[in-house]
Amino acid sequence: MAQDTLLSIKNLKIDFRLENGERFEALKGISFDIPKNRTVALVGESGSGKSVTSMAVMRLLPPNNTEIDPASEIRFNGKNLLAMSPAELRALRGKDIAMIFQEPMSSLNPVFTVGDQIAETLMLHGRLGRAAAKRRVVELLTEVGLPEPAKKANAYPHQLSGGQQQRVMIAMAIACEPKLLIADEPTTALDVTIQKQILELIAKLQKKHGMSVLFITHDLGVVGEFADEVVVMRHGVIRESGSVTQIFQAPKDAYTKALLNCRPHLDRRPMRLAVIDDFLREGGYVEPAERLRGYAPDDEIVLDVQGLGKTFETREGLFGKSVFDAVKDVSFKLARGKTLGIVGESGSGKTTVGLTLVRLHQATAGKALFHGKDLLAMSAREFQEYKRRIQIIFQNPYASLNPRFTVAQILTEPMMLHGIGASQNERLAMARELLDRVGLAENAMFKYPHEFSGGQRQRIAIARCLTMKPEVLICDESVSALDVSVQAQVLNLLQDLQDEFKLSYLFISHDLAVVKHISDQVMVMSKGAVVEQADADDIYLRPTQDYTRRLLSSIPQGLRPEMFAAV
């Protein structure tokens, strides 16, 4: 182990014992080092073994079904973590090695204030008294850029935004000034502006405290600006590793090239996005021609929204209440066979617009003319027929699919409710056809949602919407939680369906690169109001508002066009 190496992983092999008695090889003998005062990015798709690696370093894998090869080593400052006793590990975790998890709400205790949770770490590892720990908490919350740190220390996790919760997690992680910080997908579900702030914060803290950082992500785009070295993983093996410059400018492995190209780019818009198989098959990938976007004067308008408003009332104290304008005077037109992208930070009103149009929220102002008929003014009985013509795909397919229904039940139930198909056999035949259309095999019909990956579940959600033969699909952050390769597959599927059926999309997302790729026109929202609206290329090349410019400047620039000369 070299003197400048902090963590060294040698021949790490990990098997999981499955319920049916079989063994799953999660890691197949990986080796890499993390130097002192450096940032190493561990990159790959879901199932590649990234998180298993980090959990192995922290010794948090469940012992009852995990087998680690006796020849494997994880050496931290020369000591093998795999040979440490539970007491030694407890002293190490939080003090010398700290971890930031992907979902702060599941990592923070909901019944304790965030200040108390950080103070607990300080009192346990820093040997501080309660008064000194409270003072240090405020200093830490100040350091991670949380506004009103003394006040926020007394807040509970649910009272903070996602970005603020993640800052609390970072404050807790750096409380005892660890030598190694492991960040496991810490920005996946965050807006581009918050993501940029969190990445800059981790980079600043790394330099200030002289930490080493293991940054785990599925998106190469977010590591290009701040990582020193990159390790690319797939199926439990390391496909390629090297300096960030080498990986971006001269990738050697086809899988690395695929990851670099799967993500939509701001400088071009191919007819179809590249997927992993395009690079792994013989002959390699040939980029198709570009797709032209934009509205035309003679486009048929299917949805004309005028002055849409939505107000929420919240209680304050026993008798008081306050009014919050979530959506204020929003107007737009959606053309047949075209996509309107709606972008903005969390709380901008994007999702509320979509939910109000399908009447999951009751609008407080405005009209939504669907082929001239106002959806918002209809009675519940009148709207029943229109429900099937305007459908919504939610962000989280894990929550939007009934876990007790088979895929066949999930797809045929809406058809039965809306009188589609003369018999159950006819509906099942339609369901099989739709599964084939979204790229799933017929044997998926009688499986349950938990038997599928996230991308496959999203395909099932899309198929469910298609059972209604809709004219408008509202895609609410429907690809934001997917790996870049799976995201590319779903975006290609949505584009194919639009080309074939002339579907119109409202595409709601905080990912501006994805929005530019799929949208003909883009509407930017902030604090419930429309800030700017124009054709997709115009708004990216010539934004007129400072807010739009700020959003665009927050897009990760790791994938710069000049980096592809050698790809």
Q: Tell me, what's the pLDDT at 559?
A: 41
d(CA 522, CA 153): 38
The DSSP bridge pattern shows strands 504-508 and 472-476 to be parallel
Phi, psi angles (nearest 5°) of residue 15: -115, 145
Strand partners, 343: 524
Confidence of residue 106 (pLDDT cuts 50, 70, 90): confident
Task: Tell me the HSE value of 140 on the side-chain side, using a 13 A CA sphere.
Answer: 27
Could you say which DSSP state residue 49 is in? Answer: S
* Per-residue confidence band for 485, with pLDDT thresholds at 50, 70 and 90: confident
Nearest Cα neighbor of 344 from 114, 149, 510 is 510
Residue 158 is encoded by which pair of tokens?
Answer: 């649910």
Give the closest residue to 403 by CA, choosing from 449, 444, 364, 464.
449
Which pLDDT does position 524 carry in this prediction? 95
Is 567 a residue whose pLDDT tops 60?
no
- pTM of the predicted model as reported, rounded to 2 decimal places: 0.83
Structure tokens belonging to residue 265: 């780019």
Assess whether the region 30-57+85-241 and the region 253-389+502-553 belong to the same CATH fold: yes
- Determine the pLDDT at residue 189: 64
Q: What is the pLDDT of residue 309?
A: 96
Predicted local confidence at residue 409, as pLDDT: 94
Cα 383 to Cα 38, 61, 351, 373: the distances in Å are 58, 50, 20, 10
CA angle 451, 396, 384 (to 5 degrees): 105
For residue 86, the tally of other CB atoms under 10 A from its CB is: 8
Please report, in angstroms and rounded to a whole number, the separation of the first and last CA atoms in the chain.
34
Of residues 79 and 198, which shows the higher confidence score? Answer: 79
For helices 162-174 and 192-209, what crossing angle results, to 10°?
10
Q: Is 390 helix (H, G, I), strand (E, B) or coil?
A: strand
C-alpha separations of 7 from 34, 81, 225 in Å: 5, 10, 23
Q: Which CATH number fits domain 30-57+85-241: 3.40.50.300, 3.30.1490.20, 3.30.930.10, 2.60.40.1180?
A: 3.40.50.300
Segment 206-234 shows an average pLDDT of: 89
CA 201 to chain CA centroid, Å, is 19
CATH of 253-389+502-553, one of 3.30.1130.10, 3.50.20.10, 2.60.120.200, 3.40.50.300: 3.40.50.300
**Max CA distance (Å), the chain:** 74
Residue 283: its pLDDT value, please? 75
Does the pLDDT value for residue 188 go beyond 80?
no
Q: What is 432-461 written as a DSSP string?
A: HHHHHHTT--GGGGG--GGGS-HHHHHHHH
Domain boundaries, the chain: 30-57+85-241, 253-389+502-553
SS (H, E, C) 149-162: HHHHCCCCHHHCCH
d(CA 479, CA 490): 7
Tens of pLDDT along 286-329? Answer: 888 999 899 999 999 999 999 999 998 876 666 667 788 899 99
**Residue 262 burial (CB count, 10 A):** 25
